[in-house]
């Protein structure tokens, strides 16, 4: 019996030793399979929330140049489907975009807001077409990138660099109810200094005929005269062929009579608007 137990012990011991040594041999026999892969970069651009709903319409520069005698309100009425609230030639004109009111629409000139701080909005009839070369409409809230107060949208107007060619442009216009106007643009300069002078003048008596109610006689509108004059002076210094330092001065004065209401016999009210805007910038041309 003892010999059987001894034999069983040796067999078990031999089997364990054999199993351990065979495992060691197998471990030593494995071949290293580690391989270095080429580096791969995965990149993605961050989503710009300001681009959601972004839409911009650029007004045709050729049409703008042909209608320089008109104001911004007339230009928007002709080239866009936007509704411009206007009460006649030279009178208050406002604009709302995407359901917003006039106070929710910002107007910028070369990046400078033109909104009247007393009214909280901008009268589009006081922006003559001869004072800007380009105009664009920015719909949606991304217009807030230009400043506050542009929830509905934004109208941006800008000037092209001062021309390197001496030139003179004169436009005259006339219309009903003794409406007449004119503008002059003169580009000139010597060497690296270039200047551009833009002047305009507008007048309208606005004595149109109207009837308050059916059966009542027609009568002429009274105390509705409009006078609007202004000048935009630009000076540009050329650093090299592509870099310019430019300064602009916008001065404008408007005198508008306020006609009587339907319950008034006469009116002596009037409104004067005086605007002085200055800007200097460094421009790069491609």
| Two structure tokens written together for 185 | 């643009």
Distances (CA, A) of 36 to 30, 32, 33, 43: 19, 12, 10, 22
Chain centroid to CA 88: how far? 26
pLDDT value of position 227: 95
The pTM (predicted TM-score) of the whole model is 0.77
For 6-53, how does the pLDDT look when each residue is reduced to its tens digit (9 = 90+)?
A: 666 666 766 666 665 555 444 444 556 778 888 889 888 776 665 666
Fold of 49-158: Ferric Hydroxamate Uptake Protein; Chain A, domain 1 (2.170.130)
Domain spans of the chain, in order of start: 49-158, 167-284
Q: What is the 3-state secondary structure (H, E, C) of 118-129?
A: CCCCCCHHHCEH
Chain centroid to CA 11: how far? 94
Q: How many whole angstroms separate alpha carbon 129 and alpha carbon 183?
A: 10
Q: Which residues of the chain have pLDDT under 50?
A: 24-29
């Amino acid at each position: 019996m003892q010999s059987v137990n001894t034999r069983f012990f040796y067999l078990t011991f031999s089997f364990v030793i054999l199993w351990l040594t065979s495992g060691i041999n197998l471990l030593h026999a494995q071949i290293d399979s580690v391989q270095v892969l080429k580096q791969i970069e995965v990149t993605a651009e961050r989503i710009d929330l300001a681009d959601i709903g972004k839409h911009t319409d650029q007004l045709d520069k050729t049409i703008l140049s042909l209608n320089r005698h008109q104001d911004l309100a007339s230009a928007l009425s002709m080239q866009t489907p936007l509704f411009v609230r206007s009460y006649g030639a030279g009178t208050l004109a406002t604009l709302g975009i995407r359901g917003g009111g006039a106070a929710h629409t910002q107007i910028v000139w070369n990046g400078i807001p033109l909104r009247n701080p007393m009214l909280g909005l901008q009268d589009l009839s006081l922006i003559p077409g001869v004072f800007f070369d380009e105009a664009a409409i920015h719909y949606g809230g991304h217009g807030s990138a230009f400043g506050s107060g542009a929830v509905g949208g934004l109208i941006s107007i800008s000037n092209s660099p001062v021309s390197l060619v001496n030139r003179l442009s004169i436009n005259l216009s006339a219309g009903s109810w003794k409406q007449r106007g004119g503008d002059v643009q003169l580009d000139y300069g010597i060497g690296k200094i270039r200047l551009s002078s833009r002047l305009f003048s507008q007048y309208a008596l606005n004595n149109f005929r109207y009837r308050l109610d059916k059966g009542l006689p027609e009568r002429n509108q009274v105390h509705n005269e409009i006078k609007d004059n202004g000048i935009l002076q630009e000076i540009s210094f050329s650093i090299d062929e592509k870099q310019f330092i430019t300064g602009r001065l916008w001065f404008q004065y408007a005198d508008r009579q306020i006609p009587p209401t339907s319950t008034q016999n006469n009116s002596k009210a009037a409104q004067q608007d005086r605007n002085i805007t200055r800007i200097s910038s460094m421009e790069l041309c491609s």
